[in-house]
Amino acid sequence: MTDEQEQVKTIRTLAGKLRDAKDAEALAREVRIGIETQIAELVPTDEEGQKTIPVGDGVKLTVKRSLAYRADMEEIARTLNRLGLRDGNKYHPPIKTTTRQELDVAGYKWYRKESPEVWKAIAEHVVVTPRKVAVTLKEK
């Protein structure tokens, strides 16, 4: 067998091992996510909060939930203008300006607590979805 043929044979063998490793990795990921889901179902938290539970031998398990916010910033600005709420008034729009406008989640939550009628008007332009629950295992 020539050196080139030997190299092709080695690459073919490594490619097979790589495929097997990727398959095992995908299966392990699926199993891990299933276990995390079971744990998350057993550990209640607020929709945005976390809880840490000691499970023995210095090991702690943390379950953390969070939400993702997506908003139509132009519609929120128009809604606030229509309601007569502009910068400099009592209320500050829940809008952060970077190179693009994005929802200021803290400001949005403030409206929910402090001015429910305004929050209700702008909430129709915001989509809130739960993020993946994070489960963390810490060992000493």
Task: Give the pLDDT means over successive 10-residue stretches in the chain (140 positions).
Answer: 93 90 94 94 93 92 94 88 71 75 92 93 93 75
Closest CA to 83 of 133, 23, 124: 124
Q: Within the chain, where are the H helices?
A: 3-42, 73-82, 105-114, 116-123
What count of residues does the chain have? 140
Rounded (5°) CA angle 105-89-48: 15
pLDDT of 78: 87
**pTM (global) more than 0.75:** no
Give the pLDDT confidence of 84-121 residue by residue, as tens digits: 776 656 667 787 777 778 899 999 999 999 999 999 99
Closest CA to 121 of 90, 77, 88: 77
